[in-house]
Amino acid sequence: MPYHMVKPSALDLIKHGRKDYAEVERYSADPKAFLSFLDTLGVERAGLINYVAPKIIGFTPEVNDWSAKYCSAAPDRLIAFGGVLPGTVPDPGREVDRLAKLGIRAIKMHPSHQVLSPNDYMDGNRGLAAVYERAQALGLPIMIHTGTSIFPGARNLHAQPMLCDDVSIDYPNLVVILAHGGRPLWMNEAFFLVRRHKNMYMDISGIPPQKLMEYFPRIEDVADKVLWGTDWPGPGVPPIQGNIEKFNALPMGAAAKR
C-alpha cells in the first residue's frame, strides 16, 4: 500500500497499536524486502490490494500506477489489484483497458469506501456498467469488499453481499470475488451467493481463523471456490505467521485447506 497517499484520518487507524509499522512501511517502499519477508513465511504469492477511494482513504487513480509498478518486480509472485471509480476518470471503461495493459490483474471495488453499491448500474450508473463490461470482456476478476469497515466515514450498507447477486446475473461470465465473505454480519448471504453463481467466489481474509468454522460451518462444501488470505497489514489484523498456524490447526480436511 502506498502510505504516502493515505489520508491522515485513515493512516491514524492503520498505525494505531502497530508496533511493526516501520517494517510495513519499509516493505511498501521496497518490493524486494517484501518478497524476502514472504520467503521467511513460506508464502509463495501475495495480492497487493489497492483501489480508488479519495474521500475515505485518499487513493486517487494514481494508486493503480503505483500498484502495477510495485508488482512488476516479481509478477509471478505479486498480484496487482487496482480500481476504477466512476467520476474520478473521464471514461471508466477505457480506464479498465489501461489498467489491463499496465499489468493490473484484477479490479478491487470497495463499496463502503467508494460510497456506491455494486448494483448501482441498475439505477443509471453507466460508468459502473462499463467497468463490469470491460472487465468481463478482458477476463479481469472483480473483487468486491463485503462486510463491515471501521474506517472513518465508511458507508457499510453498501457492502452487503446480496447487492452482488445482480452483478453475477447481469454479467454471468465475470469472475466476482466476495472479499471477507461478508464478515461479521452477512456470512450466510455470501455462502448462498457462492453456491448460486458459478463464477462467484469468496476470500476469507480478515476473518480470525478460530472463527472460520463458526462463520462458515459448511465451508468444505465450497472449498474449491474459497481463496485464503489474511488482510494483513489491515487494522487489527494479526501477523501472517500466526494466521497460517491457526488456519492449519483447524479441524478441516487437508484437501479443503489446499
List CB contacts of 152: < 8 A, sequence separation 6 or more: 9, 10, 13, 56
Q: Residue 17 — very low, low, confident or very high, per pLDDT cuts 50/70/90?
A: confident
Q: Give buried/exposed letters for 144-165 (b at 16+ CB in 10 A, else e).
A: bbbbbbebeebbeebbbbbbbb
pTM for the full model?
Answer: 0.96
Closest by CA position to 47, among listed 205, 248, 254: 205
pLDDT at 227: 97
Q: Residue 30 — very low, low, confident or very high, per pLDDT cuts 50/70/90?
A: very high
Residue 235: C-alpha distances to residues 229, 230, 249 (Å): 15, 11, 24
Q: What phi and psi values does residue 20 have, to the nearest 5 degrees?
A: -105, 20
Give the rounded distance of the alpha carbon of 19 from its chain centre: 24
End-to-end CA distance of the chain: 27
Q: Could you give the CA distance from residue 181 to residue 215 in angstroms, rounded to a whole number?
A: 9
The enclosing domain of 198 has a CATH number of 3.20.20.140
Domain boundaries, position 96: 3-257
- Structural domain total, the chain: 1
Q: Give buried/exposed letters for 103-134 (b at 16+ CB in 10 A, else e).
A: bbbbbbbbbbbbbbbbbbbeeebebbbbbbbb
pLDDT in tens, 207-232: 999 999 999 999 999 999 999 999 99
- Asked whether residue 255 carries a pLDDT value surpassing 90, the answer given is no
Closest by CA position to 133, among listed 162, 96, 160, 88: 96
pLDDT in tens, 108-153: 999 999 999 999 999 999 999 999 999 999 999 999 999 999 999 9
pLDDT at 19: 87
